[in-house]
Structure 1
């Protein structure tokens, strides 16, 4: 999503600069084809993450010490993540497929800003106006068209460092989804934090793996996906329109809550294989359906389909497994489906958990492999446009609350990009071992209704 300069109140920008990988890799070049896993996300809105740190810091200390150190460590870290400093090259008229390219002189856009908003308010769990967070959200530079107009160059990463004087610091990350999924981006964030905190080089386990020839491509998916995607829509995403008329709120499930949800589902369906992910998603899905039904001006028919979609990491599940450090996208499309009337009924939670679990079992653990039917995924997803659809951004597998730049653990993680779709964010809880943290962005009315139903549903266990 492009920046709208007449949008939400912005922070005071002190500096905008471009950070290149440090000198030892200035001559390096790397070109990577976008595979079917990447092409899926070519026209998806940018992914925006915010990490808030409770780190009382004066403006002089911030500008004279913190920012220079972050710039230096970023430059060092980019040596190992060159595609993030590069661009996606998107052919417009030729038959070629998009690719990622880094060449000497490419860089990452970095904004340094100071914000006078209430740090403690923004980092709470209570309802907050979504617009307020965009003072900290970096914006990808605009695409650049070639002189011959036969291709467009798309920047893939933008960063922002925002000071809340004497209260804290926020690091903002915005990336083009086609360059990498959460596994790769979180690997970069953790590597940068490690270099900033300890200095030196990143460890071998943090180094990304770039071999695209190792990726399984049954049935020529790269060509199939490109032929479908290139006809779908324009290259540039529409700008965000403010006000968003949304609020965001954080909901916590403790380890005990999660276990009670599992026990309840198991009592109703002893044969059901429940996980923390399935029961948490089922609870939120059902509460949201009920909240929307309660606030709807026009009732939704009971037989109206309800869809719950999310992505599953394929790295270790391909016919020739990829290393966990594989850089790029490597995700499978998972879709659960039920009916509106079933989900808003008394047994809605168990039904949601069951169909979510069955969808995972079929896609992720099916006998024919995780990519079975992958040639149809773009068309399947396309059919969901305009339908009642809910999804998940993030995963409890990626613990961003463990990312320490030298200022301690983050006080709060926010997935700003859920404002642009119908997803919830999901991650490990910061304060409750074994717990989960759920972020939701909706209208104030829906959010209030959801909150009341969420509490009621947990009270039934």
Structure 2
């Protein structure tokens, strides 16, 4: 009999080599003995104590073998990485407090900065690990590079910000693992960096000097003075993360069996079917719901129903409490004046959605969820989008005991456009969501306009969700 995915032994991953890659400084003046510092903004300091952002990019490569990876692919990867870090040099720097022990954080860059790149080999089943079906987190974790000390932003010693790992599956494929400290940048920059590195891998060596990152040759903008802080949000957010840590508040852990990671695909036709069946939004919210709103509404309701079916908690089934959802919104274009799309840092606002649990798990729940999500997005408005920013940390603290659902990633990142020369990824996976219970959203690898949804839950919940997810696309739920 086959064992469940959560109980299988993890495949062996053997480290072959670790090298350090420095940003190319060709034609650039040295930074100098004093180094250069980028102060964290209020957008950045919120993430100082967060776990790193972690993504795995799986590529099919039937000719993959370890000698070829070491002798021909590794030089191409390191050359391209050095070129890319020339423009993304803060990611090779370190996070530190100035003075040590204080709460004034900065990214410190020197001429000796470099990023660790690990080469590894796995005997795992590539097609299964890069699949959609439930997989144990212990199977995927060895493919993720570790940033030493990244979770402890308060330490006196400077913290590295990035680690990279390339793992070959002989005769099957390769996995590129990327970990970046969230205080350095947000998901938009993360994916821009990976796509720039991938594009540099595909550029001829003679173009090294002229090469600039895509899209459209748009260089990262590092100027932190573009972010003004008239409301003193840096101090508010810094104190907020300290109070969260003091109160030991974090996302509730799931009891019972270890979570498994699964992916579900919402095709464009599925989204149109949801749009057809869900009542039109009330007039202030426009004429139609976005694909994002419909996808999140469907997943949120299915998850609530799946978790409710397995609960024995009094009151939970009655739906007499509120369900909470919150997610980050890119504020670059929403600020006045706006920030450049290529701004290298964090620029995320918070959007909070609350709705009665009973209404969401009942008939017509997806329509109720869509209205609540669209209403919260509409309240963000334009112009002074920071109108309630002082309250963000307090709102998080209030909602954490109620197991809020959060969202990682975005279909707008187009992660499947990252091509290192092996073609489009067979699969892109977000890790770390098992710690928070978040759902990870991405563009579809199969069709324009589709959305992939990944998340981790104990296998019984995942089985119930899969049934509800499919049923909800077939009849009016």
TM-score normalized with structure 2 length: 0.88
Q: Taking structure 1 as reference, are residues 387 and 361 closer, same or farther at Cα in structure 2, changes over 3 Å only?
A: same
Structure 2: distance between partners of 1:145 and 1:399: 30
Unaligned runs of 5+ in 2: 1-8
The equivalent residue for 1:256 is: 269
Structure 1: distance between partners of 2:421 and 2:10: 31
Unaligned runs of 5+ in 1: 1-6
Higher mean C-alpha deviation, range 444-453 or range 73-82: 73-82
Structure 2: distance between partners of 1:419 and 1:88: 25
Say how many residue pairs are matched. Answer: 447
Structure 2: distance between partners of 1:270 and 1:225: 35
Q: Taking structure 1 as reference, are residues 392 and 51 closer, same or farther at Cα in structure 2, changes over 3 Å only?
A: same
Give the superposed CA RMSD. 2.6
**Aligned counterpart for 1:356 among listed residues 373, 383, 394:** 373
Q: Contact 2:405–2:437 (CA<8 Å) still a contact in 1? A: yes
Q: Contact 2:285–2:378 (CA<8 Å) still a contact in 1? A: no
Partner secondary structure for residue 401 of structure 2:
coil
Kindly indicate whether residue 104 of structure 2 is the aligned counterpart of residue 89 of structure 1. no
Counterparts of residues 251-330 of structure 1 (less than 5 Å): 251-267=264-280, 272-273=285-286, 274-299=289-314, 300=316, 301-330=318-347
Structure 2: distance between partners of 1:150 and 1:271: 48
Structure 1: distance between partners of 2:185 and 2:323: 29
After TM superposition, which residue ranges in structure 1, 4 or more long, deviate above 4 angstroms? 7-10, 91-96, 143-146, 267-272
Q: Contact 2:103–2:238 (CA<8 Å) still a contact in 1? A: no
Kindly indicate whether residue 138 of structure 2 is the aligned counterpart of residue 131 of structure 1. yes
Partner secondary structure for residue 261 of structure 2:
strand
Q: Deviations over 1:231-279 (max 9, x none)?
A: 5438xxx9x99x9811111111111111111222235857654100000
Higher mean C-alpha deviation, range 20-29 or range 126-135: 20-29
Q: Contact 1:162–1:171 (CA<8 Å) still a contact in 2? A: yes
The equivalent residue for 2:81 is: 74
**Aligned counterpart for 2:59 among listed residues 53, 66, 73:** 53
The offset of 1:206, in angstroms, is 3.5
The equivalent residue for 2:158 is: 153
Structure 2: distance between partners of 1:447 and 1:417: 17
Kindly indicate whether residue 385 of structure 2 is the aligned counterpart of residue 370 of structure 1. yes
TM-score normalized with structure 1 length: 0.91
The equivalent residue for 1:27 is: 30
The equivalent residue for 1:202 is: 212
Structure 1: distance between partners of 2:370 and 2:172: 41
Q: Taking structure 1 as reference, are residues 21 and 125 closer, same or farther at Cα in structure 2, changes over 3 Å only?
A: same
The offset of 1:151, in angstroms, is 2.5
Q: Deviations over 1:165-210 (max 9, x none)?
A: 0110100011111110011111111111111111422246341101
Q: Deviations over 1:122-152 (max 9, x none)?
A: 1111222222111211100236999xx9823
Partner secondary structure for residue 190 of structure 2:
helix
The equivalent residue for 1:3 is: none
The equivalent residue for 1:40 is: 46
